[in-house]
Amino acid sequence: PDDEGAGQPDAPAPSLHEQRLAAVTAALKEAGAARVLDLGCGEGRLIRRLLAERQFTEILGMDVSSRALALAQERLGRLPPPQRRRVRLIQGSLTYRDERLRGYDAAAVVEVIEHLDPARLAAFERVLFEAARPATVALTTPNAEYNVRYPALAAGGRRHADHRFEWTRAELRAWAEGVAARHGYGVALAPVGPEDPEVGAPSQLAVFRLGA
């Protein structure tokens, strides 16, 4: 959501965020998930996309921001009741262990980790991969290497003032492989958005599979 305004060189349809949501939806579908978490759901754009797929029978959206949740609630409220009934929204923080997150098949974490204080990443890791422990986790974050392709960021800086960090492809890989090894998951990484031969794609997807 954040890098849409960062001076994207070409603004083709679908937008980068649409491509992220499509990639995450495809990963969750392929995993055969039915009950899914959307962690850091924001205003609920992924949730609306997931609701279009009958495979996803139950969706729990969580966000720390009551403002984001109110927006999500309002938008989801306009959907037909059979869709609306498949969703529940809760307020909570991904850095605190939460029993409500247990028992789901999969979790989406789209453009959220870069909003966490790096010192809280270890807590996030335990909350998701040790306590909630869904079989599949699909997580996206910006690829910092691509920032040089945004005119507004060519001189340095992050895509959004609220980002605490942005990782290169090697940094995401190192973190993701560490998480996977510590908690018994396998992980596969993939680019999201148009790939540049030197700096890669603007966004990156990590898909974790328990026991893979």
Binding site for ligand SAH (CB under 6 A): 1, 40-42, 45-46, 63-65, 68, 93-95, 110-112, 115-116
CA distances from 47 to 10, 145, 201 (A): 27, 29, 24
Least separation in angstroms between residue 23's CB and ligand SAH is 12
Comparison of 27 and 116: residue with beta carbon closer to ligand SAH? 116
Quick one: residue 153, left, alpha or beta (phi over 0 = left, psi -120 to 50 = alpha)?
alpha
Residue number, nearest CB to ligand SAH: 42
Q: For residues 63 and 197, which CB has a smaller minimum distance to ligand SAH in the complex? A: 63
CB of 109 to ligand SAH, least distance (A): 8
Rg (CA), the chain: 16
Strand order in 203-210's β-sheet?
87-91, 58-63, 35-39, 106-110, 136-142, 203-210, 185-192
Strands (E), the chain: 35-39, 58-63, 87-91, 106-110, 136-142, 185-192, 203-210
Cβ 93 to ligand SAH shortest distance, Å: 4
Q: Which is nearer to ligand SAH, 116 or 153 (CB)?
A: 116
Q: Which is nearer to ligand SAH, 118 or 186 (CB)?
A: 118
Q: How near is the Cβ of 160 to ligand SAH at its closest, in Å? A: 8
CB of 150 to ligand SAH, least distance (A): 18
The answer to whether residues 53 and 81 touch, using CB atoms and an 8 Å cutoff, is no
* 45/133 with CB nearer ligand SAH: 45
